Structure 1
Amino acid sequence: MSANGRDAALRLVIPSDGELYEPTLNYLGSCGLSVRRPNSRQYTATIRSLPGVEVLFQRSADVTTKVEEGSAELGITGLDRYLEYRTDERTVVSLLDDLGYGRCDFVLAVPDAWLDVSSIDDLADLALEFKQQGKQLRIATKYPKLLREYLFHRGINYFTLVAVSGALEAAPVAGYADLIADLTATGTTLRENRLKTLQGGTILTSQSCLIGNATTLLRSKDALRLAREFIEMLEAHMRAEPYYRLTANVRGASPQEVSATVLSRPEVSGLRGPTIARVYNVEEQDWYAVSLLVRKDRLMEAVDHLRDCGGIEVSASQLSYLFKGESSVFSRLLDPASESVEEIGGL
């Protein structure tokens, strides 16, 4: 049963802890999908704007597993945790691999005292030296799968991974690892612990992502319907973020004359060009309302252009949603011959 006493047609699992908890709630709220959680001790919640969706709160490390095992059809987690914890690439897929928050890098960091080691190539040479001395590099990490794949791809085959549950930065000083592979957003904590990142040593750039269990979703029409609505809300919100709608009243002899004036500068004349509509006024009959969609980085340039066109009463409003003809993400989810996982994430 869902938190509102009815059977849930779609279950969404999100982090209950860590750095993604509050940002995920804020992000969903900004998309018009506010999560209603009765109290902080309750591990289920609802989304009022999407009846039939139940939100489950789980540890960040467990989100991928819950989606993969079918306890939830959709989940939000870090790309790093998704790639590390998935075991079946055909079952759990990344639907949107960048939701725009929770950015961090998974990097290799060595002690500042290692003056001769500044790049991944230097580390490869050092690993070989250790091997010749009958030793192996010890690397502390919480993401052994991602790290192992990265090192093998770089031709570094001689190393030992040290599993650590707490802070990794102390591992070299404490002596139970030679270097670390850890997540960092700014690098400040690494620097404060006298560690430096290696050139070419960024294993993964991670951020929050939406994942889904294609198998369980395809079993229910109600789940698919809700999944489409949920996915399209996220897509449309992300797509709209860079755009503003500008409107102005412009005087002209005809719609064609006004549009020609606005189109004289195509780079600030709208996403698909201007929309022109007659302004009905008892006293003056030669005014037209002009509406444009422009990128926020060209907002003032577009405002000045409308002024140059004779525009007055220019107003600007940020878009909340920008929908396309159909959702490419949802279309690929429905296609059993979909090429692969990460390709689904493109907008």
Structure 2
Amino acid sequence: MQNSSSNGQVRDRLRLAVPSDGVMYEGTLDFLSASGMRVRRPNPRGYTGEMRALRGVEIVFQRNSDITARVEEGDADLGLVGFDNFAETRIDDGDALVVIEALGYGHCELVTAVPDSWVDVESMADLADLSIDFQESGRELRIATKYPVLTRRFLHQHDVNYFTLKRLSGAVELTPAIGYADFIVDLTASGQTLSENHLKRVADGTVLESEGALIANRRMLREHPERLETAREIIERIEASQSASTYSRLTANIEGESEQAVAAKVLELPEASGISGPTISPVYSRDGRQVYSITVSIPKRDLTAAVDHLRSIGGASVSVSDAVYLFREESNIYARLLDALGLS
């Protein structure tokens, strides 16, 4: 399957793996739609979908926990996955690499949480001392988690050296209450589930901050230029959409002697000058006045200041719209990918 379509033929289209269910499913589809790459899933239980915006893309739905492995093995060229999953299951020096670590959705943290009744445990140093106490009494701390690799590494980094990990796939937060584990390392978004199960976060016990990430198989992209080109289109759209989300486009009509004179007025306030300066064009008014339409794209944080300035220089009917895409001179993310592939 690694380099073939379902009928055994070598595939030309890029295969993108996306979560098939769970908390990442809706977030991923919403993210792709907002980036102008809506995914259609004809059968809610099916494993394939389509992306009409990019005909060179084949969508495959996979469990979030399997996506990193599918990309690592080359069954998929790209994958959208929680960064926590990638960090836990990646293979050192393998073919899977992170293209974009933080896509802006699916935010959560992998945290260390202990029972509320442990009033003397507030920090990882306290847990390190407790692990020694347990070891001297002839037992080890029992820790329930879905993330044994990340958990073991984190505990050792904080001198918690005597413990037993219990890997689970179900409800980890229940285990201290039923006596299966002493404490847990698990994902949380709001902390509500921890609180409901009488658990508290350890102050410096955050193992990892996670959100949706874009990963790729370096070998597949290096060996198949047509898939690499499709990957570039996906990366460019994501990057341009994320850049546009922080900008607004302002348009106003301003009376003036010339385009240069109007531009000079606009440029008096740096926050209103836009990315590279205003775009100005004449308005052919019915009464013969010299009016010019100006358009600037500005960071949303400067919106009020820019609108006030345009008003102060005679701006009429200032309209504001959100940009859909904001493409830079080149894609920095794609340039980094080429460097990682040894193709720059």
**Superposed structure 1 runs of 4+ greater than 4 Å apart:** 5-8
Residues of 2 paired with 1:6 and 1:310: CA distance? 62
Moved more, 128-137 or 74-83: 128-137
In the alignment, which residue of structure 2 is the partner of 1:221? 225
Question: CA–CA distance in 2 between the matches of 1:154 and 1:31?
Answer: 40
Q: Distance in 2 between matches of 1:8 and 1:190?
A: 46
Matches within 5 A, 1:226-305: 226-305=230-309
Match of 1:86 among 84, 90, 100: 90
Partner of 2:190: 186
Q: Give the distance between the partners of 1:256 and 1:271, measured in 2 at CA.
A: 18
State the 1:19 CA deviation: 0.2
The amino acid that maps onto 1:94 is: V
Q: Give the aligned partner of residue 61 of structure 2.
A: 57
Unpaired stretches in structure 1, ≥5 consecutive residues: 339-347
Match of 2:106 among 88, 102, 113: 102
Q: 1:31 aligns with which of 17, 32, 35?
A: 35
Calculate the TM-score normalised by the size of structure 1.
0.93
Q: Secondary structure at the match of 2:201?
A: strand
CA distance in 1, matches of 2:61, 2:233: 21
- The SS at the match of 2:193 is helix
How far has the Cα of 1:325 moved from its partner?
1.5
CA distance in 1 between partners of 2:139 and 2:275 (Å): 60
**What SS does structure 1 have at the residue aligned with 2:207?**
strand
Decide which moves more: 230-239 or 67-76.
230-239
Q: What corresponds to 1:307 in structure 2?
A: 311
Whether the 8 Å CA contact 2:72–2:94 is kept in 1: the answer is: no
User: Cα–Cα, structure 1 residues 81 and 337, in superposed 2: closer, same or farther, change >3 Å?
Assistant: closer
Deviates more, 1:226-235 or 1:291-300: 291-300
Q: Is the 8 A contact 1:2 1:8 kept in 2?
A: no
> What CA deviation, in whole Å up to 9, does each residue of 1:220-270 have, x standing for no partner?
121011111111111111111011100100111222322222222212332
| Alignment counterpart, residue 22 of structure 2, candidates 15, 18, 31 | 18
In structure 2, list runs of 5 or more residues that go unmatched: none
Identical aligned pairs, as a percentage? 49
What is the deviation of 1:275? 2.1
2:12–2:226: 8 Å Cα contact kept in structure 1? no
CA distance in 1, matches of 2:192, 2:118: 19
Q: Does the CA-based 8 Å contact 1:278-1:288 persist in structure 2?
A: yes
Distance in 1 separating the partners of 2:41 and 2:340: 35
2:117 is the counterpart of 1:117: no
| 1:160 partner letter | T
> 1:345 maps to which residue?
none
Query: What is aligned with 2:333?
Result: 329
Q: Does 1:210 align with 2:203?
A: no
In 1, Cα distance between equivalents of 2:288 and 2:205: 67
Q: Which position in structure 2 is the counterpart of 1:344? A: none
Pick aligned residue for 1:159 from 154, 157, 163: 163
